[in-house]
Amino acid sequence: MILPIVKYGAAVLEQPTRSVEKFGAELAKLTEDMFESMYAARGVGLAAPQIGLNLNLAVVDVTSGKNPEAKLVLANPVIVHSEGEQREEEGCLSVPGFRGNVLRPAYVTMRAQDANGKEYEMKGEGLLARAFCHEIDHLHGTLFLMHLSMLKRDLIKRKIRKLTKTGEW
Ligand code: NI
């Protein structure tokens, strides 16, 4: 089931999330819906707050569905190690139409639980490292906009306010 994606301005996007404590069929179904919604929106990551859920849960697939093994469920994820730097353009399904340069670590080791509650660790570099950081930010109520210069951020916020007024957001 494709779920609607919440856009910037919704309070749920800027709040910390509750831990995932219950694993099982219901959570597995939710993560499958999140993958489906993410693929439909052509994203490489989706966090639960983006579908209006205050839950410490995200899905990532930097192959956009091409490799089933690249489908990652991140329940209660933490970054345990990061190294280096990369600066690339980044966007977010909750801030459609806007992108900006964000400095992220080049290498990240992430620890999380999968849809069954099993703990795992995964190393990522490049886009995967960026996706881990971006999604874990979401789970702390932080959007990529917070990593932009104040000037760039204010410009985007002003444009969004205008779009909101005309009902286009
Ligand atoms: Ni995002």
Query: How much distance in Å is there from the Cα of 65 to the middle of ligand 1?
Result: 18
Tell me how far the alpha carbon of residue 23 lies from the centroid of ligand 1, in angstroms: 24
Our answer to whether residue 125 is catalytic in this structure is no
Q: What is the distance between the alpha carbons of residues 125 and 105, in angstroms, rounded to a whole number?
A: 8
Domain boundaries, the chain: 11-165
> Which one-letter DSSP state was computed for residue 93?
T
pLDDT (tens digit per residue) in 93-150: 999 999 999 999 999 999 999 999 999 999 999 999 999 999 999 999 999 999 999 9
For residue 146, the model assigns a pLDDT of 97
Cα 136 to ligand 1 centroid, rounded to whole Å: 9
Pair 44, 131: CB distance under 8 Å: yes
What is the pTM for the complete model shown? Answer: 0.97
Q: Using the mean position of ligand 1's atoms as its centre, give its distance from the Cα of residue 86 in Å.
A: 18
Q: Ligand 1 centre from 119 Cα, in Å? A: 23
CA 159-165-169 angle, to 5 degrees, is 65
Which structure tokens are listed for 126? 């490049």
**CATH superfamily placement of domain 11-165:** Peptide deformylase (3.90.45.10)
Can you tell me the mean pLDDT for 47-70? Answer: 96
In the set 88, 89, 125, 135, the catalytic residue is 135
